[in-house]
Amino acid sequence: MKMKTVFGVLKELKTDETRVALTPDCIAMLTQEGYEVIIEHNAGILSGFSDEQYIQSGAVIAKDNVEVWEKATVIVKVKEPQKSEYQYFQEDQVIFSFMHLAVEEELTKELLNKKVCAIAAESVEGKNGELPLLRPMSEVAGRLSIQLGANYLETVNGGSGVLLGGVPGVQPGKVVIIGGGVVGANAAKVALGMGADVSVLDINSKRLADLDLTFNGALKTHYCNPYTIKEECKKADILVGAVLLPGRKAPKLVSADIVKEMKKGSFIIDVAIDQGGNIETMDRITTLKNPVFEKYGILHSAVPNLPSLTPRTSSFAYSYAILPYIQKIGELGAFMALKESESLRTGVNTFRGEVTNENLAQTFDLEHTEISLLIGFKVA
């Protein structure tokens, strides 16, 4: 007999985190299917969702996070647990959220010590290696990166005074995007829509060809190497770092020497900062309230939770993406869901005291154990 699944939704504690993991409409779907959902008081308030809306959806409102941690068998979050929450971890409890454990060694050790099943949303893979839970947040972050950059090019915000789209007779601003994945493509979409001159750099020639086709040749594509990075960065009014390696620290692609040669008053945003970042000069994390710092005359932004600038849109997007996985866990129980769903298995980073993600194990020089061995069968 499988253990009763109780889903728990918490108010996020990470600095400036305004999203909520499950929206009222998704919780209504869960409760209508007979599952119990407990949500912390005011968990959705910053995303525009009241406790009353959650009550109407069938959720139980908990007075504080302790009650949620104690009662829930599956914790559904947006961002990784914070230090104050480590004390509440329970053996065999499932925590399903963005984890970014490659830069969270202390959290990794706590998850292992408490034998928590940690499912990292950014590691969950769908067909053909796609990342269905990371994608919607990457779409939001890519689009926001250009909105933020265009704003900070204004002189009142310390920028160079360049209008990204230019005007007739005056050339537009230059946007350089390193990484042609979901973040890069969505940054390009908004930048082109604003009339900017856009270049995308990537090491995957097929991806560059796909982008060229998608945007009907409106953007410039470059094979990414140290030379093209240096030359394109010199021209940039906005530089977007958008290279992520799932389960690993992001590669440093833009050196301090390159940044020093960029135009004064230009803007760099490192969307990969939650995995360590692509830009060497991003030596601190910034926040939604204070998103920018200046170094070498260049504005830098290193906000790890950029989608929290638009929490309502982001919460809906994340909730809709994660719901099918939550429903699978509710239907079968966590253990059997992992047996049945290859996609869920790819997201498991720790399980019963073992590291089950190979990249994470390599990052911290830990032993790696295949999840298939721990749940009782060998995947072909």
The residues that are catalytic are 100, 274
Amino acid at position 87, single letter = Q
> Residue 206 has which token pair?
């097929």
Distances in Å between the Cα of 185 and the Cα atoms of 50, 140, 176, 331 are 34, 11, 12, 36
User: Which residues have a Cβ under 8 Å from the Cβ of 262 and sit 6 or more positions away?
Assistant: 233, 234, 236, 239, 268, 296, 298
Q: Are the CB atoms for 40 and 9 separated by under 8 Å? A: yes
Residue type present at position 29: M
**Rounded to whole angstroms, how far apart are CA atoms 211 and 184?**
10
Q: Which residues pair with 197 in a beta bridge?
A: 174
Query: Which of 15, 21, 17 has its CA nearest to residue 94?
Result: 21
Report whether 295 contacts 268 (CB < 8 A).
Answer: no
Asked whether the beta carbons of 214 and 207 are under 8 A apart, the reply is no
Under a CB-based contact definition with an 8 Å cutoff, are residues 65 and 40 in contact? yes
Please, which residues have CB within 8 angstroms of residue 255's CB and are 6 or more apart in sequence?
A: 280
Element (H, E) at 8: strand 6-9
Q: What are the structure tokens assigned to 321, written together?
A: 């993406």
- What CA–CA distance (Å, rounded) separates 51 from 39? 9
Q: Alpha-carbon distance 242 to 237, whole Å?
A: 16
Please, what's the largest Cα pairwise distance for the chain? 73
User: Would you say 86 and 316 are in contact if contact means Cβ atoms under 8 Å apart?
Assistant: no
Tokens read off for 238: 């906005």
